[in-house]
Structure 1
């Protein structure tokens, strides 16, 4: 029986898992993220337990190089994460075991899980927005993950600052001018002194957060016209947020463009915290089929 492997590679932790041909998880583990060589040494030790793995899907924190024609394809690029900048992630795995790999971003992995089996299984185009330690988006257009010169960094779109917000911003590149700088989990905690988990439902933080996410949804809508936008990540776990985003989105759109009913258009993630792993499995299967 051929097995599939999954590597959800985050800046804080790596989630590793193995599934059978029916995508049933048969084993999984979590590793603390160290530097590149130390982490991948432990990754390969884990997968050595499963000699029948036929392909692996890798969804990695970035920025990463997704261009197969590039000399740095498979690398983690210029990241502030210690021990990872310009690290040949995919090359390390190929030296360990020469099998098919699907190499993509962490948010693309989650987006693909939602596309294949989740909130968007019946649509052809979607945008998956994760709001947590950072802000990022996986974009699928007509059944294909979107990338060009590089992968999208949709968390760094410019945002109009809410007049009630006097926070200086958390992004080291754009401060209070981009979505991640204003709406990420660390930005919320730095601004309010409480994490998203700790803020009460009637705190003004949620109205401001909803404004920023609604602005982002409007921008994505006008440029990409997806069939659906899915909200994931730790901040979006709070149920108070999405209804406020829908309300503000409708106000900002002001009837300009036709979209599906807002409750069907702006939706929560369906696969929860398993989205990244499931996406890796589906993409591993795709890499195996392609090979």
Structure 2
């Protein structure tokens, strides 16, 4: 079995792993995301130690926070671009790894990586057009469309669409430093905490926060269902760990669509249409493996 390296590069922490796929992660390490040179070197040190112990890696995949440049023919391929994270704007994430290991490197957003792994091994197997969202510290969306990751100009930024905002019902101005009351600005973890002065995980299941949260998620889902016509939507991230949220989001998405999309998948089977990740909290690091596998196949 070929051995792959994976980096789930988050704004708060990096997770590095080696393995062959689900059920065979042979080694894993987590460390805080500090400055680029220090953090990338820690990842390199981990892989060098694993290669010495287990043998060579066939490829390495990097599933990263963004915005980033995922186009291999671009001069800034492998770079983080306009992130507000101090020290990381225009940082070259892939270059030092490529120079050290000289193996194929797959590089994409963390959510595109997670979408890829959910299609390969998780809740979207056998589908060719579906969406994966993480709703946590931020909100991001990854898309597989006709069997390929969606890129285009750069990559999707699904957390930054505009949602209808009833200022009377919800006077909160939004958390996003760029757009205020976009999807991420209204529904990510920091927005819940700012609005209610308590972390979401500490709010009871019957708190009005969850009705409002489901309302905003459902409005976003309506837009994406009408735009990309996904065969399934997977909702991951820390905010979605609230068990009561899925049924609320499903009900409100049906109400928001109001019968317009005439598909049994939505009208009769909404509980298998909007679902949690099949890979749980491993979707990210397995997404990095999947990106590495794809880079090796394209090499």
**TM-score range for the pair, normalised by the shorter chain length:** over 0.9
Q: Per-residue deviation at 1:124?
A: 1.3
Runs of 5+ unmatched residues, structure 1 = none
Structure 1 or 2: larger helix share? 2
- 1:97-176 equivalences in 2 (<5 Å): 97-162=101-166, 163-176=168-181
Q: Per-residue deviation at 1:69?
A: 2.7
Q: Indicate the residue corresponding to 2:79 in structure 1.
A: 75
Q: Per-residue deviation at 1:23?
A: 6.4
**Structure 1 outlier segments of 4+, above 6 Å:** none
Are 1:235 and 2:239 an aligned pair? yes
Are 1:286 and 2:290 an aligned pair? no
- Work out the CA distance in 2 between the residues paired with 1:282 and 1:44: 19
Runs of 5+ unmatched residues, structure 2 = none
What is the aligned residue count? 290
RMSD, aligned α-carbons: 1.3
Decide which moves more: 91-100 or 211-220: 91-100
Q: Per-residue deviation at 1:150?
A: 0.5
- Work out the CA distance in 2 between the residues paired with 1:161 and 1:200: 24
Q: Indicate the residue corresponding to 1:48 in structure 2.
A: 48
- Work out the CA distance in 2 between the residues paired with 1:140 and 1:28: 27
Q: Per-residue deviation at 1:168?
A: 1.5
- Work out the CA distance in 1 between the residues paired with 2:86 and 2:271: 41
Are 1:96 and 2:119 an aligned pair? no
Distance 1:21 1:80, change over 3 A: closer
Q: Per-residue deviation at 1:281?
A: 1.3
Are 1:270 and 2:252 an aligned pair? no
Q: Deviations over 1:44-78 (max 9, x none)?
A: 01100133112001001101011223221111102
Q: Indicate the residue corresponding to 2:220 in structure 1.
A: 216
Contact 1:23–1:281 at 8 Å: present in 2 too?
no
Decide which moves more: 55-64 or 276-285: 276-285
